[in-house]
Structure 1
Amino acid sequence: MGHSSKKKKRGGGGGGGGRSKGRAPSKDHTSQSANDDIELSEEITALCAIFQEDCKVLPGSPPQILIKIRPYSKDMGYEDLDVSALLHVRCLPGYPFKCPKLQITPENGLSESDTNKLLSLLRDQI
């Protein structure tokens, strides 16, 4: 447990709070990969909180994430649209500076061309 107390002191006080601090390229590269792992696990935790049972994490290094995606919205008359797809995210070593690999598997009511459209939209977002 000695590590965590040492790191806190080095933060320079001032409440920490700002997530942007972790984004800056750090000078000592030894802790970089540990920081990336922490950042990734925080992101995975957030994804699981958002997607809940629709999000599955496959253990490994780096982990892979499977997310079932479907139209969002209860009040816009979408619930009769039984459409869903499986988004497979593989984070590469060096994430978040390297883009994750994305793959979409259509499940209900999605055509191949819709799937490809979805994938290219996602890639634009990255």
Structure 2
Amino acid sequence: DVRQEVAAVASVYGDDCHVVCGFPPHVVVHVRPRTADDSSQQFVELFLGIKASSQYPKEPPHVYAVESKGLDENRQTYLVSSIQNKAKELSCYPMLVTLCEEAVEILSNMNHPAGDCPLCLYPLVQEDKDGSALPFMKLMSCYHCFHSDCIMRWWEWLQNDDTDSKKSSTAVTTEVIHASEGLDLSSSAKHHNVSQHKGLCPVCRKVFDEKDIEHVRDLLGANTSKLVC
């Protein structure tokens, strides 16, 4: 029974499974690699959509990506097409759990940073003169990865730029207050304050946490102790 199969997916994946419709089956499953128990070793994840018609399982379901982290367009396309091909192979058989497990397996094989550092445009995973890997880190909010020293240099520039902006704004506010002596200005104008700049991923602009920067400090140790956040 198809409804029982949908219930099985919900049972296996628990809170990571959202049942959009019991019949025809339509589920969205939050899929992670097998290293997901260790967040520091997780570089990819996917919200996988599986939507079938009333002819399921005779007619294979449509597989699509709702949202992903750490996957570029090529890897996401490969993952979805691979699962879709698996669905065609399993036509006429119950397959929902199998398709999700296939996604987990592929994600596990893809669970590594790929491509270049978006800041310096050099490969993320490369070897230095001693033959050891250069340190890199990911932002927890979006899983974009950078060389650790690159993201720290960028963060330092960001904070310096924010400090300069605050100084400029303070100077302008002081001039306004002096020029308006004797006028009845609102307290908000007199006590203008610039909100603290929040760190945004330089690739996707999602807000990242202070813990991301602290993670880089741990990686680089004394080399970053002079950088101010």
Per the shorter chain, which TM-score range?
A: 0.5 to 0.7
1:81 equivalent in alignment to 2:65: no
Task: Specify the code of the residue in structure 2 equivalent to 1:99.
Answer: P
In structure 1, the partner of 2:81 is 120
CA distance in structure 2 between the aligned counterparts of 1:52 and 1:79, rounded to whole angstroms: 23
Is 1:62–1:92's contact at 8 Å kept on the other side of the alignment?
A: yes
The structure that has the greater radius of gyration is 2
CA distance in structure 2 between the aligned counterparts of 1:74 and 1:112, rounded to whole angstroms: 22
Task: Specify the code of the residue in structure 2 equivalent to 1:47.
Answer: V
In structure 1, the partner of 2:69 is 108
TM-fit CA distance, 1:59: 3.0
1:54 equivalent in alignment to 2:16: yes
The runs of at least 4 aligned residues of structure 1 exceeding 3 Å deviation read none
TM-fit CA distance, 1:89: 1.0
Residues 74 and 88 of structure 1, relative CA distance in 2, 3 Å threshold = closer
% identical aligned pairs: 24
> RMSD of the TM alignment (CA)?
2.1
Is 1:86–1:107's contact at 8 Å kept on the other side of the alignment?
A: yes
Is 1:85–1:104's contact at 8 Å kept on the other side of the alignment?
A: yes
Residues 78 and 125 of structure 1, relative CA distance in 2, 3 Å threshold = farther
SS at match of 1:119: helix
Is 1:55–1:65's contact at 8 Å kept on the other side of the alignment?
A: yes
Is 1:84–1:108's contact at 8 Å kept on the other side of the alignment?
A: yes
Is 1:106–1:115's contact at 8 Å kept on the other side of the alignment?
A: no
In structure 2, the partner of 1:69 is 31
Is 1:106–1:112's contact at 8 Å kept on the other side of the alignment?
A: no
Unaligned runs of 5+ in 1: 1-38
Residues 74 and 110 of structure 1, relative CA distance in 2, 3 Å threshold = closer
Unaligned runs of 5+ in 2: 88-229
1:41 equivalent in alignment to 2:19: no
TM-fit CA distance, 1:72: 1.7
Residues 64 and 74 of structure 1, relative CA distance in 2, 3 Å threshold = closer
Query: Which structure has the highest strand share of the two?
Result: 1
Task: Specify the code of the residue in structure 1 equivalent to 2:53.
Answer: L
SS at match of 1:52: helix
Please, what TM-score do these two structures have when normalized by structure 2?
Answer: 0.35
Alignment partner of 1:93 out of 37, 54, 66: 54
